[in-house]
Amino acid sequence: MTQAPADPRATRRRHDREIVALAVPAFGALVAEPLFVMVDSAIIGHLGTAQLAGLAIASVLLTTAVSIFVFLAYATTAAVARRVGAGDLQAAIRQGIDGIWLALLLGAAVIAIVPPAAPALVDLFGASDITAPYAATYLRISAFGIPAMLVVLASTGVLRGLQDTRTPLYVAIAGFVANAALNAGLVYGADLGIAGSAWGTVIAQWGMAAAYLTVVVRGARKHGASLRPDATGIRASAQAGAPLLVRTLSLRAILMIATAVAARLGDADVAAHQIILSLWSLLAFALDAIAIAGQAIIGRYLGANDVRGAREACRRMVEWGIATGVVLGLLVIVSRPLFLPLFTSDSVVKDIALPALLMVALSQPICGIVFVLDGVLMGAGDGRYLAAAMLVTLAVFTPVALLVPAFGGGLTALWGAMTLMMTVRMVTLWLRARSGRWMVTGATR
């Protein structure tokens, strides 16, 4: 007997339930990272424009140091989800533990490099003599939280792959509250200035790492997975993440180029850029909540050899991405006059940021498509294509951004270049998704 085709409405409702169950908690967890920076920006911004400009430069360097290793979360999510789909929970958790050991090793290497090199790294951005010392101070101290954040990334990947986005939400809420309280207390109560903000964030990050490790260790014991480091497994985790490392390095290069260009436009421009970048990151992580659901869902479907389910889930998540992008864009337009005073009282900074925020708002539907398809292809383990596509995007963006000051363009023109960058990403990802070549089934790719 031929099986009757599934009711399209029932299929959409089923995918909607899956997406909401994973994406809503993931949203809360994802926004913790930009909210950390936004809290720091709001507190430091009232110390002065030079301090805020210093944070802008330091935070880009710190985010880069952490985000280049984001494969610890993304590659682990996809690999664990495939094994969940295939029914092998012990192997899924064991792979995640290998990722955590890799995170600790990478974090130790970063600490050995970043603090001593802080002044030289800040100088690369062409910061003014007033701004540079603040940037170097924040960077040198905050580097000690990097190992904790890498452990958080790897542990989050394990839990997402296990279809658990609630635990990361709870840890993120606790971390955000702790970060806000510590920052306010150390910056104003202890009168430590920008250094107090950096120390507060470091303490909160290590607290989050401890919470994640407790959860993962409990799960490993429950399913009989070894906690010991395994050289072969650690090496395999590093190799699996290599293409995503290339992809992320390219993306971080784009953001660093944008900040470097803003720094050369002036202190007021780079301060405005920091505010906008904080909001852009918040919006990006909100959209990425659907992408995180995509990583877990697509990986599980492909691990269970369900190509049709993977294709239908991809289509539905793209629809969610577009709709969410439209809503976020409208919210940015409406809230622009209310948003800026939270971060600065400098009227020059506000005047520069206002039109650039409009450019950010208009680009949100494009961002919605980009983040969702990025997550889908990550869930499928299609890292090589993602790496190649991002290299193409970097090649297009770089000359356009560098020409902004040469032609007398301001911050709005720079964010126009950022919108072009997202458009190129959208085209490359859409072409791959349409081809269907990403749908490789099985417990491993």
For 203-234, the DSSP string reads: HHHHHHHHHHHHHHHHHHHHHT---S--HHHH
Q: Where are the alpha helices (DSSP H) in 31-88?
A: 32-45, 49-67, 71-86
Read off the pLDDT of each residue in 85-94 and give the average, rounded to a whole number: 85
Reported as a single tens digit per residue, the pLDDT across 290-313 is 898 989 999 999 998 999 989 999
pLDDT at 5 over 70: no
What number of other Cβ atoms are within 10 A of residue 203's Cβ?
17
Collapsing DSSP to helix, strand or coil, 22 comes out as helix
Residue 342's pLDDT is 79
Read off the pLDDT of each residue in 206-212 and give the average, rounded to a whole number: 94
pLDDT at 147 over 70: yes
Residue 3's pLDDT is 44
Residue 369's pLDDT is 95
Most confident of 128-142, 169-183, 392-406: 392-406
Radius of gyration of the chain, Cα coordinates, nearest whole angstrom: 21
State how far the alpha carbon of 56 is from the alpha carbons of 119, 135, 139, 348, 375, in Å.
15, 8, 10, 17, 27
Reported as a single tens digit per residue, the pLDDT across 151-162 is 999 999 899 989
Name the least confident of 208-217, 274-283, 314-323.
274-283
Reported as a single tens digit per residue, the pLDDT across 232-267 is 888 888 888 889 999 988 998 898 899 889 988 888
d(CA 140, CA 93): 34
Percent of the chain with pLDDT over 70: 98
Residue 402's pLDDT is 93
What number of other Cβ atoms are within 10 A of residue 410's Cβ?
17
Residue 189's pLDDT is 82
Reported as a single tens digit per residue, the pLDDT across 398-445 is 999 999 988 888 899 999 999 999 999 999 999 999 998 999 888 777
- Assess contact for 295 and 74: CB atoms under 8 A: yes
d(CA 35, CA 100): 24
State how far the alpha carbon of 151 is from the alpha carbons of 147, 234, 268, in Å.
6, 14, 35
Read off the pLDDT of each residue in 372-382 and give the average, rounded to a whole number: 93
Residue 230's pLDDT is 84
Whose CA is closest to 104, among 165, 155, 151? 151
Token look-up 């190509």 returns 307
Whose CA is closest to 135, among 144, 146, 126? 126
Reported as a single tens digit per residue, the pLDDT across 319-358 is 999 999 999 999 999 888 787 887 777 788 888 888 889 9
pLDDT at 6 over 60: no
Give the predicted TM-score (pTM) of the model. 0.80
Per-residue pLDDT band for 31 (boundaries 50, 70, 90) equals low
Residue 51's pLDDT is 82
Whose CA is closest to 139, among 211, 66, 72, 190? 66
What is the widest separation between alpha-carbon atoms in the chain?
78
Amino acid letter, 48: G
Whose CA is closest to 349, among 416, 258, 266? 266
Collapsing DSSP to helix, strand or coil, 243 comes out as helix
Amino acid letter, 94: R
By CB neighbour count within 10 A (0-12 exposed, 13-18 middle, 19+ buried), where does 276 fall? buried
Read off the pLDDT of each residue in 116-127 and give the average, rounded to a whole number: 82
pLDDT at 364 over 90: yes
Read off the pLDDT of each residue in 171-192 and give the average, rounded to a whole number: 87
The token pair that represents 174 in the structure block: 């606790």
Q: At what angle do helices 146-161 and 71-86 cross, to 10 degrees?
A: 20
d(CA 147, CA 130): 30
**Sign of the alpha-carbon torsion through 305, 311, 314, 320:** negative
d(CA 75, CA 223): 21
Q: What is the mean pLDDT of the chain?
A: 87
Residue 283's pLDDT is 86
